[in-house]
Structure 1
Amino acid sequence: MLIIDYKQLVAIILAAIALIGTLSGIAKDSLYEKPEVIVDIEEKSENDDLRIMSFNIRCTNVGLKSWVQRIDIVAETINKAMPDSVGLQEATPGWMLALEDKLELYAYVGVGRDDGEKKGEYSPIFYLKDKYTLVESGWFWLSETPEVPSKGWDASLNRICTWAVLRDNQTAGSYMHINSHFDHLGVSARRHSVEMILDFASRYPDLPVVFTADMNIREGAEPYNILENSGILKDAKFLAPDTMDYLTFHDTKPSLNEGKVIDFIFVNELLDPSVYRVVTAGINGEYVSDHFPLYCDMSFNTEHNE
C-alpha cells in the first residue's frame, strides 16, 4: 500500500499547480510597466524591536502572471524581509497551502472568511514561530453579526478581521497584530469596519498594537480620517522619520494608478516607528502582486509587560 505523508502530498499538489500555471501562459516583461521609484528590502536596524509587513498577494488569478507563477517570488519576498509578523490579504485556500509549505520559519493564524474554516479568502497573520509564542488569537467578521461568517452593511463580500497576541520568547515582550481587508464597494461597510477595528484595539490600552490592512480607501477619505484622528491608532508612514510616499496599488501600471495608497500599517502610542518602506523592486525585476508589499520597522517606546 502506497503511503504519502503530508509534505509529499503538498509537494505533489504544488507541482501540479505549477504545471498548470506554466501551460496557462508566461507573462512578458513588455506588458508590465516598471515603477519610477525602485526600493528594495533593507536590513532591520538592531535598534528596532519589530518589523511588521502588510502584503496583498492577489488572489488565485489565472492567465498572465498567474498566482502559480508567483508562489516562489511571494514567498521569497516575505522570507527576504523576515518580518516578525506579516498580515496578508487575498490569501485563498490555494495560497495558504502553498505558503504553509514555503514559509518554513512561520506559523499562522486565520480562517477562510466564507465558513470560518477553509472556504474563501483568509486575512491571515504569519509570525516567526521560533521567536514568538502565540498567547491569544481570534477573528471576527466586519458586519452586524461579527461572530459568524457574514456580510456587513453594503459590503459586496464577507470580510474578516484576524488578530494575534505574540510574546517574544527571549524578552517576554508582547504585542498585538490585527489584520484585515476592507470591502472594495461598500462605503458604509468601510466606515463601520474602521469603527469595529478601533473598538477592538481600544480594549488593549496597555498592549502595543499594530493594524495592517488593504482598506480599499485612500489617505484623506472619511474612514481613514476617523482612524487617523481616533487617538487610538496612527498611520506609521507619517510617524516614521525615515519614510517614503509612494502608491501601494499599481495593477502593473504605476503611472495609471498614481496616488493609490490603499494599504496601510497603523500603530498605537506604545510603538515608535522608525522606517517605513513600500517595496517596489520585486524579485528579479518582476512584480510579485498587483500591490506592493510594505513594511515598517519600529521599537517599543515604553516599558511594558513587566
Structure 2
Amino acid sequence: MRCTPELPVRVLTHNIRYATSSPFKGEVPWEQRKQLLLNELGYHTRHVSGTFICLQEVLHRQLEDILVGLNPRTASSAPDWAYIGVGRDDGHQAGEYSPIFYRPSVWKLLHWETVWLSKTPSKPSKSWDAASIRIVTIGVFTHCESGNTVLAMSTHLDDQGSQSRLEAARIIRAKIHGYRQGEFGTLIGGAFLAGDLNSQEDQEAYSDLTGSGDLEDTFKLVDSSRRYGSHNTFTGFGYENEPPSRIDYVLLASGGNQAWKVDGYSVMANRFDDGVFNSDHCAVIADLRLVG
C-alpha cells in the first residue's frame, strides 16, 4: 500500500444542542441558530479537504438541515459531504445522532457501526445509572489519494450517570482494541475519539480513556503557542447555575508504524456581536498529521 509520510487531517467536534421545543433562558430556537452553525462548519472545512466533522445532540431534522447546508445545489449530482450515524433511540431516525460527516471524494468508507454504550451494545439500550441512551458512532476510512486508513469515533456520554460514563469509556477502549486486532487492524494507522464526554480531566471517563495509555488528549500534545481560543468548551446559554468547563475533546490513539502529530488545537467562540449562542458548547478543532 502506498503511504504518504504525512497525511493532514482536521477533526472538528461540536455538541450543537438539540432542537428543543422548550429553549432555556438565553437560548434561541434552532431555526435561528442553524445558519450560524452552518457558517461555522463551512468556514472551518472550506480549505481543509480531509476534515471529519463529529457532532453531538443532532436530531434528524437538524441532520437534514446540515446536509442541505453542507451540500448546496450545484451542476454536479454528487454531494460534497456524506455522513454515518443513526438516531440513538431506535437505531434509525429517532433520538439524537452522534454523526460523523466526511467527504466521499477524499475518504472511502470501509465500514461503520453504531455501538450502544450499555450492557447490550448491539441494540438501543441504556444501563447502569445512565439518564439517557448513549452511543458511539465508529467508522473506518481510507484516504483515497494516499491509502492511509483512520478509525474515527464520535460520542456523547451521559450527563448524569458517573458509572455509565466510566463503563462507556471502557466499552470505547475495548472497541479500539477490537478494531486493532480485527479485519482492519493491519490497515488502521491512527484512531481518534471526538465528542462530549461530560467528564472533566479529574473525572471518571477522561481518566479512564487517557490514564489507560490508549488515548491522548490533543490539548496536551501541542505546545501552548499552537493553541487558540478558549480553554472551556461548555459555556451554557448564560443563565445556568454551573460554571463553564472543558468536557469536549479530541483524543488520539496511534498504532502500528504510524503516529499522530498535532499541529494545532483550538476552541472556537460560540457567540459573536449578534449576541446569539449557536450552541451551549464551543466547537473544538484539532489539526493533525498522520506520520509513518
Range class of TM-score, shorter chain: 0.7 to 0.9
Conserved 8 A contact 1:77-1:283: no
Aligned to 2:161: 186
The 2-side partners of 1:220 and 1:259 are apart by 15
Number of residue-to-residue matches in the alignment: 256
The 2-side partners of 1:133 and 1:254 are apart by 43
User: RMSD over aligned Cα, in angstroms?
Assistant: 2.0
Aligned to 1:11: none
Q: Find the partner of 2:135 among 156, 160, 169.
A: 160
Conserved 8 A contact 1:48-1:297: no
Task: Please list, as runs of the form range in 1=range in 2, the aligned pairs for 1:222-261 lying within 5 A after superposition.
Answer: 222-241=204-223, 242-243=226-227, 246-253=231-238, 258-261=243-246
Aligned to 2:264: 275
Aligned to 1:124: 99
Alpha-carbon distance, 1:173 to partner: 1.4
Aligned to 1:199: 174
Alpha-carbon distance, 1:283 to partner: 6.0
Q: Find the partner of 1:114 among 79, 85, 89.
A: 89
TM-score (norm 2): 0.82
Kindly tell me: are residues 100 and 185 of structure 1, through their superposed partners in 2, closer, same or farther at Cα, counting changes over 3 Å? Answer: same
Gaps of 5+ in 2: 1-5, 72-79, 181-187
Conserved 8 A contact 1:247-1:257: no
Alpha-carbon distance, 1:274 to partner: 1.6
Q: Tell me if 1:212 matches 2:194.
A: yes
TM-score (norm 1): 0.79
The 2-side partners of 1:249 and 1:202 are apart by 30
Alpha-carbon distance, 1:185 to partner: 0.6
The 1-side partners of 2:244 and 2:85 are apart by 30
Which one has a bigger Cα radius of gyration? 1
Deviations 1:226-250 (A, max 9, x none): 1111111111110022225611000
Q: State the secondary structure of the residue aligned to 2:178.
A: coil
Aligned to 1:68: 31
Alpha-carbon distance, 1:253 to partner: 2.8
Q: Which moved more, 1:251-260 or 1:106-115?
A: 251-260
Q: Tell me if 1:172 matches 2:147.
A: yes
Q: Tell me if 1:289 matches 2:279.
A: yes
Alpha-carbon distance, 1:258 to partner: 4.7
The structure whose RCO (Cα within 8 Å, separation 6+) is larger is 2
The 1-side partners of 2:273 and 2:61 are apart by 24
Alpha-carbon distance, 1:55 to partner: 0.4
Q: State the secondary structure of the residue aligned to 1:111.
A: coil
